[in-house]
Structure 1
Amino acid sequence: MNKIRNRNLRKTLTTLCFLLVVGLPGYGQKLPKKDEILQQLRLANNYFMEKWPDAGKTIITNKERPANIWTRAVYYEGLMALYTIDADKRYHNYATQWGEKHQWAPARDLFTRNADNQCCGQTYIDLYRLDKQAIQIKAIKDNIDAMVNSDQVDDWDWIDAIQMAMPIFVKLGVTYNDPKYFDKMYALYAHTKYKEGGNGLYNPEDKLWWRDKDFVPPYKEPNGEDCYWARGNGWVVAALVRVLDELPKSDAHYQEYLTDLTNMLAALAPLQRKDGFWNVSLHDPTHFGGKEATGTALFTYGMAWAINKGLVDKKVYLPIVTKAWKALSKESLHKNGFLGYVQGTGKEPKDGQPVTYTSKPDFEDYGLGCFLLAGTEVYKLANSL
């Protein structure tokens, strides 16, 4: 009991110190001008588009994979976000080429239930909304319809899946004005949150998520704290942003999603490093401690979006976003557009290490997607100040 009480006291003191610091005059710096932010986004994106001119070329690392797997799908989420503030026809054409070369189908299997394989559907739906070509949405709609028409709800047994698939359900529900997609989406989310791994992967005490059942207590980090992987929690933040951005406020679970997002942001705020990044292990800065761009970008995305929507206190979160964007754009972004400090694929702090300014992750695409999502919202924020 004393251990729990001491732990809660530490968290309270950390939060109070954080709030005191962000209230000091001159904390952080001003966001750069929107034109500078846009140039940074273009630089990073052009680097990738020039490196991968063929959107259908398979990805070869330790083995060959189709180019519409989740890593590439996250990049296209970012590209479509960039397109909303920078209407360059090249972006639309590049995304369309990607869809066409994969027959507008999920990765690997037409009727997969795996969220990683479904993630590409987010961009297919966005393009369908622009172009109204039935072929763009048919396969992903058929795929999700098969899930909606089944009783199974335990598919999302790792928290990354929430980002990979959850926004597809809300996009289909909005596109077809059909709440059955919203209902199924919540059933899947609720299983992950409340039941997966025993009592769910969300810890209501810390307002953060264990990545999967392997990290539910009694698993501990070297310092004795729970393992909250930065990018895994970043995926949940991104998913909630993308869902809330479209879900009707009249939906029965809208408020729960909103509460989950704002609680997560409040828990993440005092964990930001002095240099603007977040550690890969959120509660153990000594476990592969260091700068990491993907979790940082996803948290920046969520916080900037929440400021833009008036959901959080700008005075508290603007300095955090400013510090984070400075870290991403000045320390992660290279002069040629390459992104450093991107942790490779995996599920925990040790994976893809060492993560450095010059280290190349096994896949370069998803890190860029996270960067573009964050930068697009930071651009909008700078435009409103």
Structure 2
Amino acid sequence: MKRRLFFVVTLLAGWNLLSGQSLPDRKETLKTLVKVNDCFMKKYADYTQPSYVGKFRPSNIWTRGVYYEGLMALHTIYPRSDYYDYAYDWADFHKWGLRDGNTTRNADDHCCGQTYIELYKICPGPVKIKNIKAAMDMLVNTPQVDDWTWIDAIQMGMPVLAQLGKVTGEQKYYDKMWQMYACSRNKIGKGLFNEKEGLWWRDANFVPPYKEPNGKNCYWSRGNGWVYTALVRVLNEIPMDEVHRADYKADFLAMSKALKACQRTDGFWNVSLHDESNYGGKETSGTTLFIYGMAWGVRNGLLDKKEYMPVIVKAWNAVVKEAVRSNGSLGYVQGSGKEPKDSQPVTYKSVPDFEDYGVGCFLLAGTEVYKLD
């Protein structure tokens, strides 16, 4: 009996070794997250400095907003005071405001509000959410619902409405959120979500008859990652009995299935999900957003652990091994754009035009991986 048990244990251990289907120790995951984040904070120690890519942009634009989403996630598992200060001082420098003021309908301007609200949750103070609330109230009190014409906007803006609904207890934010999401999903470009394939066209310009070089539909990796992340962040905020929770959940599950099917054998995803010949190769930002969503789904019981853990493990181990450089910076991050051809080539050594959102995506993913059992 003992001999048989030893054989089984040895066999399983050997299988795990060969398959590589195991996550690193939590301490190692945290060490990697700290390394990547510290590299960024050191390089961009002056959070007041604008970005310059063709023109100057203030540091509360969407790219930096996504970074701070990741930092606040890291802070939940490793609450270092300098992390909090880096976020708080950035928000305070911008007077808890939006790039183009409280009347902007541009979701890219709203993204910073996600961090303002998270900081408000830690230590409530009306000034922290005054401006983002005013901007969302403007959306709520005007009839337009077609502002999110590109799917990136769903991640930049939709979680803000979910967060405000939770902190205020007011249904109006949930209602407007659904109206705007449904418009992007079902009406813009005759519907940017392809229910049949479980993936999203980036905007109306990519809806058929537009095709990839191989004749398939064009599904941009990071764009789909933005929607996937938005669904996670919304499901994490809204009540269990919210009227449209089942709709968001259904889309999350459909996307999970579709994304699982197009993972590369090395663990990454291509920039073009259905055409590996169109600027194929490893890409970190989309990959980490998919890790984030799947890890959250497994941890919250929406995704089957046996089915999705191998996908998560393969992806996370690949990113840590192949994309994290020795100094903590990230390789294989596609720069800003809207389709596979933008900001190419994407290589281990290439530096994207904006480094912040790639780090934010990585921190979101790693934090959820850290929380897995």
TM-score range, shorter chain: over 0.9
- The question of 1:73 aligning with 2:65 is answered yes
Label 1:323 to 1:162 Cα distance change in 2 as closer, same or farther (>3 A).
same
Aligned partner of 2:346 in structure 1 is 355
Out of 278, 281, 284, the position equivalent to 2:272 is: 281
SS in 2 for 1:156: coil
Alpha-carbon distance in structure 1 between the residues aligned to 2:17 and 2:94 = 52
Equivalent in the alignment of 1:205:
196
Q: Give the one of 317, 332, 353 matched to 1:326.
A: 317
Equivalent residue in structure 2 for 1:342, among 323, 333, 345: 333
SS at structure 2 position matched to 1:304: helix
Is 1:246 aligned with 2:237? Answer: yes
Two-structure CA RMSD over aligned residues (Å): 1.2
Deviations 1:341-382 (A, max 9, x none): 00000000000100000100000000000000000000001x
Gaps of 5+ in 1: 1-22
Cα distance in 2 for residues equivalent to 1:40 and 1:176: 36
Against the structure 1 CA distance between its residues 330 and 25, is the aligned structure 2 distance closer, same or farther, given a 3 Å change threshold? closer
Separation of aligned partners in 1, 2:42 and 2:155: 27
Is contact 1:68-1:106 (8 Å) kept? yes
Answer whether contact 1:28 1:319 (CA < 8 A) is retained. no
Deviations 1:100-157 (A, max 9, x none): 1111011233210000011000000000111112111100001100110111000000
Matched, 1:311 2:311: no
Residue in 2 that maps onto 1:4: none
- The aligned counterpart of 1:256 is 247
Structure 2: runs of 5 or more not aligned: 1-14
1:180 to 172, 177, 185: 172
Q: Could you tell me which residue of structure 1 aligns to residue 205 of structure 2?
A: 214
**Hey, what's the Cα distance between the residues in 2 that align with 1:85 and 1:140?**
26
Q: 1:19 aligns to what? A: none
Aligned length: 359
Residue aligning to 2:146: 154
Tell me, yes or no, if the aligned pair for 1:107 and 1:120 is still in contact at 8 Å. no
- Which residue identity is paired with 2:317? K
Q: Deviations over 1:32-69 (max 9, x none)?
A: 01000000000000001011111111111221110000
The answer as to whether partners of 1:27 and 1:319 remain within 8 angstroms in 2 is no
**How far did 1:27 drift?**
4.2
Task: Pick from 86, 89, 95 the counterpart of residue 97 of structure 1.
Answer: 89
Equivalent position of 2:4 in the other structure: none
What secondary structure sits across from 1:376 in the alignment?
A: helix
Aligned with 1:347: secondary structure? coil
Q: 1:109 aligns with which of 101, 104, 116?
A: 101
Does the aligned pair in 2 maintain the 1:56–1:97 contact within 8 Å?
no
> Structure 1 57/165 Cα, relative in aligned 2: closer, same or farther at 3 Å?
same
For residues 285 and 118 of structure 1, the distance between their equivalents in structure 2, rounded to whole angstroms, comes to: 33
In the TM superposition, residue 232 of structure 1 has moved relative to its aligned partner by: 0.3
Identical residues among aligned pairs (%): 56
